[in-house]
Chains A and B, each alone.
Chain A
Amino acid sequence: MIRLSDVGVRVPVAGPPGSKVLLDHVDLRLAEHRIALVGANGSGKSTLLRLLNGLIVPTSGRVEVDGHDTRTESAAVRRRVGFTFTDPLSQLVLPTPLDDVELSLRARVRDRGERRRLALDWLDRYGLAAVAEQSIYDLSGGERQLAALVSVLAVEPSTLVCDEPTTLLDLRNRNLVSQVLSALPHQVIVATHDLALAGQCERVLLIDAGRVCADGAPAEVLDRYRELMA
């Protein structure tokens, strides 16, 4: 369970007023199995997601994952919460999916042969065995997004945070990635502009100008979202 208590995030900026508010007074308990964040570009979705696995820490208030403070226990937090970026190319740091998944396993599996076998196994589970040793630049958009996802799953987190996982994809690949996400046993927290994906979640949060302005079942929150965007 992830808990945000009166969280605020500000960044210093040049000139008055000296800082910009990215998030303000966010109080949340995130326990549902499927949670979506919707909101306009620049509303603060990515900032909120980055708080959840300690990529950033709040300037005020606190964020806890299963009781671990992201500020002081980042290692425990990152083991529990995996994070995928919108652009899989920023996520995959090594030349091939296989290398990248092996990298994720490096901390836990010392033996090289074993690591390789496990990495192939992970890729195979998501239909990526055939492209395991291809350059990540030669994969389709969907394969790349899945490879990025697998490299995070290989760390075996219990919660997966996905920042706009389908935004860069065409319809076919969007469906593919949505299906994979919805079949995961993990808790999934996803920021998205894809209303179909948000509609499948148990709970939807609407973010506007750094605040949570609606929170509840998809039907009502998505209606609010449409009104707000009209």
Chain B
Amino acid sequence: MRPTVSVFGGHLPGDSVWHRAGVGWKYLVVLALTLPALCVQQPWLTATGLVAVVGCLALCRLPARAMFAIPVALLVLLLVLGVFQLVVGRPDLAFVVPGNVLLAVWAARLIIVTTPASVLVDALVAAADRVPFVDGERFGLAVGIMLRSVPFLSGAFYDVRDAARARGLERHWVARLTPVVVRAVGFAQATGDALAARGLAEGRPSAPHPRV
């Protein structure tokens, strides 16, 4: 299975100011960077936000590729958003809308790349714990598993695409999507089993279910 660069990236160890900053501060900075541009929708605010986030990312002192890379799918999305605004006659938004998406992605990277998943999850857990009726630990575990499954599922997608190509089925959507769904279900079952095997899932054990 091939791991892939995900849109948000994964944690990269380092000792920059960003790596050492508390996770609460990072969440605050990210909100400060993104909220004005997202709320006000002015080109100069989006541009300022982008410059600021690029500056912040540069402070992480990590390879530029890891910080700034834009996966093809995201690039396509940005182009589509921009062209759509041009077509509907809003050239000002043709920069603001895709610019804000990019701003949000880069700002998210600022946290995700400089913070180990466990710390991120613990911070979310602490926040979620203050919400009534929410079990913070379970919530955090769900977030961690989600982070972990993004590369798995996108890897499955590319594997299956390659396998379909190898058989000359690249235009066959059923051949491309069915195995991804089957793998996703298999992955979910395996994750459930893995948690149960370590005593981390509740619920009574049962006789085997028929396989999907």
By a beta-carbon cutoff of 8 Å, the part of chain A in contact with chain B is 9-13, 22, 47, 50, 53-59, 70-71, 74-75, 78-79, 82-83, 85, 87, 89-96, 98-99, 102-104, 106-107, 112, 116, 133, 135-138, 151-152, 155
- Complex interface: chain B residues within 8 A of A53 (CB): 197
By a beta-carbon cutoff of 8 Å, the part of chain B in contact with chain A is 1, 3, 10-11, 13, 116-118, 121-122, 137, 141, 144-145, 147-148, 151-152, 155, 187, 190-191, 193-200, 204-210
Q: List 27 A-B contacts (CB under 8 A).
A: A47-B208, A55-B197, A56-B208, A57-B207, A70-B205, A74-B204, A74-B205, A83-B198, A85-B190, A85-B193, A89-B152, A90-B191, A92-B194, A94-B144, A95-B117, A95-B148, A96-B116, A96-B117, A99-B117, A99-B118, A102-B118, A106-B137, A107-B199, A112-B122, A133-B13, A133-B116, A135-B10
- Complex interface: chain A residues within 8 A of B196 (CB): 55, 78
Whether the pair A12, B210 counts as a contact (CB closer than 8 A) is yes
Which of B10, B194, B207 is in CB contact (< 8 Å) with A95? B10
Whether the pair A90, B190 counts as a contact (CB closer than 8 A) is yes
Which of B11, B205, B208, B210 is in CB contact (< 8 Å) with A96? B11
Whether the pair B148, A93 counts as a contact (CB closer than 8 A) is yes
Whether the pair A54, B205 counts as a contact (CB closer than 8 A) is yes
Whether the pair A93, B144 counts as a contact (CB closer than 8 A) is yes
B29 to chain A, nearest CB (A): 22
Which of B145, B199, B208 is in CB contact (< 8 Å) with A93? B145
